[in-house]
Amino acid sequence: MRVYIKNKVWSWGCGSSVVDENKNAVYQVKGKVFSITHKKFVCDMNGKKLFTIRNK
């Protein structure tokens, strides 16, 4: 299954969504507005956090 990351143009915290080939949303990526390490949280469609991505 191929997935694509679709960045939102207007979002606080650099949010994105991950969609499949049929443009159905699979995951949500939420970010913090003011974060030194630029943390991003990958969540399922119900908003449950699956894992955290952090820059070093």
Sign of CA pseudo-dihedral 36, 38, 39, 45: positive
pLDDT of residue 50: 93
Q: What is the pLDDT of residues 8-45, one digit of tens each?
A: 666 555 678 889 999 898 998 887 777 777 788 889 98
And the tokens for 29? 């990526």
Structurally, the chain folds into a number of domains equal to 1
Q: Which domain holds residue 20?
A: 3-53
pLDDT surpasses 90 at 3: no
pLDDT of residue 14: 65
- Alpha-carbon span 44 to 55, nearest angstrom: 21
Residue 29 burial (CB < 10 Å; 0-12/13-18/19+)? buried
